[in-house]
């Protein structure tokens, strides 16, 4: 009897997501030796609410308001001609800018590394940070570029045919991470 691979499986629930964000906030503060000169930038779509939550947790720990914004790397992607067109999300850089700051880029899933490379290129057009650190909720592997996250909520080794879907209450009404399948694998690969 084979298992149903078409229905996604929850690998993180809302409590797991909250704990991962809290842990990563403490890691960022520890590595930065405080919250001074931090700027947190989320990568749309789900990286933006994650960035807000991360900044709120850092503020709660350090008692210092952490500037938070968004950076849309869409126009800097090297695969624009290969993907369907999508609406640009706003880039919102906090008033103090990013020059000589520690910028914490936040995204939901790290996969090939191409989105992060594009975000780094977009950041070049905005200013010159002292340091850039990467926070991701999920690292699923399969990197195509030499990019590594500094802080990871959960490493989830995946097969190429699997999908990782992050749900956030801000957008989806609940917090969860789901692991599913595109259906591209064969029955033999799916057998336990």
Tell me how far apart the alpha carbons of residues 105 and 123 are, in angstroms, rounded to a whole number: 10
In this prediction, residue 185 carries a pLDDT of 47
Q: What is the pLDDT along the chain (192 residues), one digit of tens a residue?
A: 344 556 899 999 999 999 999 999 999 999 999 999 999 999 999 999 999 999 999 999 999 999 999 999 999 988 777 777 678 899 999 999 999 999 999 999 999 999 999 999 999 999 999 999 999 999 999 999 999 999 999 999 999 999 999 999 999 999 999 999 986 543 333 333
Tell me how far apart the alpha carbons of residues 181 and 160 are, in angstroms, rounded to a whole number: 9
In this prediction, residue 192 carries a pLDDT of 36
In this prediction, residue 6 carries a pLDDT of 65
What pTM was estimated for this model as a whole?
Answer: 0.90
Structure token pair of residue 183: 């259906």
In this prediction, residue 145 carries a pLDDT of 95
In this prediction, residue 161 carries a pLDDT of 93
Which domains can be identified in the chain, with CATH numbers? 14-78+88-158 (3.40.50.2020)
To which H or E segment does residue 14 belong?
helix 14-32
CB 27 within 8 A of CB 55: no
């Amino acid at each position: 009897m084979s298992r149903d691979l078409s229905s996604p499986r929850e690998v993180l629930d809302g409590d797991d997501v909250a704990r991962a964000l809290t842990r990563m906030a403490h890691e960022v503060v520890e590595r930065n030796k405080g919250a001074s000169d931090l700027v947190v930038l989320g990568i749309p779509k789900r990286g933006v609410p994650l960035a807000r939550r991360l900044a709120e947790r850092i503020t709660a720990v350090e008692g210092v308001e952490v500037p938070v914004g968004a950076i849309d790397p869409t126009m800097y992607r090297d695969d624009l001609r290969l993907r369907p067109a999508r609406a640009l999300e706003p880039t919102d850089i906090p008033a103090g800018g990013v020059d000589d700051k520690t910028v914490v880029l936040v995204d939901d899933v790290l996969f090939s590394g191409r989105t992060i490379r594009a975000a780094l290129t977009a950041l070049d057009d905005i200013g010159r940070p002292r340091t850039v650190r990467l926070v991701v909720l999920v690292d699923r592997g399969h990197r195509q570029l030499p990019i590594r996250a500094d802080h990871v909520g959960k490493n989830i080794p995946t097969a190429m045919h699997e999908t990782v879907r992050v749900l956030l209450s801000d957008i989806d009404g609940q917090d969860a991470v789901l692991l599913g399948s595109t259906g591209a694998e064969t029955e033999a690969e799916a057998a336990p």
